[in-house]
Amino acid sequence: MKREQILGSVFKDFTTYGIKHISMDGIAGNLKISKKTLYEQFGNKENLLEEALEYKLEEFDIRLKDMASRQPDVLYSLVFTGGEWFRFLGTIGPVFYQDIQYFLQASALLEKLKERLLIECRKQLMRGVAEGFLKDGQNYGLLSRFFHAHITTVRLGECEKYTPAQTCMMGLIILLKGAATEKGRTSLERMEKEIDN
C-alpha cells in the first residue's frame, strides 16, 4: 500500500472517530498491513497523525489554489474557497478537536494553519482593494478574522433553500458587501444569483 493511501485513510479515521479511539493495531488491521510495517514507516501514532495532517492539508491547499485560480475575480476566490474550507471542516468530527489538544505537535500544526489562513485571507482582501473590488481604508485584519470565524465555527444545518456550504458562502458575501466598492457589489450580486440557481 502506498504511503499516500495510508495517510489519507488514517486522516479520515482520525477525523471521524477521534485520535484517542484509534490504535496502531486497529490502523494496521483496517489497512491490512502488518503493525511492524506501520511502525517502521511512521514510528508511533503521533508521528502518523502529524504526517497524515500535513499530507491532507497540503493536498487540500493544492486543491484550493487550483480552485482560486479558476475564479473570475478575487471576491469569487474568497467566497468559493471559503465555502470549500467550510465543506472540508464539516468532515471533521468534534471528537477530533477534543483529542488533538493532547497531541502537541499536531495541535501546533493546526495553529500554524490557522495563522496561514488568516494571512492568506488578508492578502486576498488587499488584492481586492488593489483591483478595485473593495474599499481602501477598511480594517481588513479584522475582516479576515471574521471570515475565519465564520468558516470555522458556524455549523449550519440544512435550510429551505441552501446547503450548509451555500449558506456559509452567502454569509461571506454579506461580510464582503460592507467593504465592497460598486465594482465589488456587482461581482457579489452576480455570485448570489449563481448560488441561488
The percent of residues above 70 in pLDDT, for the chain, comes to: 96
**Closest residue by Cα to residue 22 from 88, 99, 92, 110:** 99
Cell, residue 48:
502518523
Q: Distance between alpha carbon 182 and the CA centroid of its chain, in Å?
A: 29
Structure confidence by residue, pLDDT tens digits, 101-130: 999 999 999 888 888 888 999 999 999 999
Structure confidence by residue, pLDDT tens digits, 142-158: 999 998 888 887 665 55
What does the domain layout of the chain look like in residue ranges? 3-196
CATH architecture of 3-196: Orthogonal Bundle (1.10)
The amino acid present at 48, given as its one-letter code, is L
Structure confidence by residue, pLDDT tens digits, 44-66: 999 999 999 999 999 998 999 99
